[in-house]
Amino acid sequence: MTEQTNEPEVAADNNAGNGIEFSVQRIYLKDLSFESPLGAKSFTRQWKPKVSQDLGTKIAKLDDNHYEVVLSITITVKDDDDTLYLAEIQQAGVFFVKGLNEQQLAGILNTQCPNILFPYARETIDSVVTKGTFPALMLPPINFDALFQQAVANANAQASEKAEAGTH
């Protein structure tokens, strides 16, 4: 008889031993807006669109272990000064997080959670843009880890500047 090892249970036992838990409780669409200010005039001319993307996250603590993370994306497509369309989405999720220190928690909420939400937001934006009869818009992947590291570095630099200004 051969001995069988159940590795997923071992991994779960290891995580249970250090008390770290993370799970997605719910993913939902919090807000969605689509505007085509020019209406039919958008389709009667040749245009060379310029796409701009604004991105943000908001984190709200719901209770000791539950957090709402909202990924906000605004896509503006212009031709010269005319806005062809504007799509805004707030893709949200409720996440259960337990057993992390403050720094680890900030990292998870600002990187892993937006990484989970982004594909849902991207699909919704693409869908609403094509329903507006504009060409499909597939947003490129976003490196939330790099964005978070950059935000932390900027915050540290600002704190250093304030500290130096206070000592002079």
Q: What are phi and psi of 129, to 5 degrees?
A: -65, -45
pLDDT by residue (tens digit) across 3-40?
444 433 333 444 455 689 999 999 999 999 999 999 99
Q: What is the pTM of this model?
A: 0.81
Report which secondary-structure segment, H or E, holds 9. Answer: helix 7-18
Check whether 1 has a pLDDT greater than 70. no
Q: Side chain identity at 53, as an amino acid letter? A: Q
Cβ-contact 101, 91 below 8 angstroms: no
Strands (E), the chain: 21-35, 50-61, 66-79, 82-98
Q: Calculate mean pLDDT across residues 110-134.
A: 96
The structural architecture, per CATH, of the domain 19-136 is Roll (3.10)
- Would you list the domain boundaries of the chain? 19-136
Residues paired with residue 90 on neighbouring β-strands, in sequence order: 31, 72
pLDDT by residue (tens digit) across 66-104?
999 999 999 999 999 999 999 999 999 999 999 999 999
Spatial separation of the C-alpha atoms in residues 23 and 5, rounded to whole Å: 25
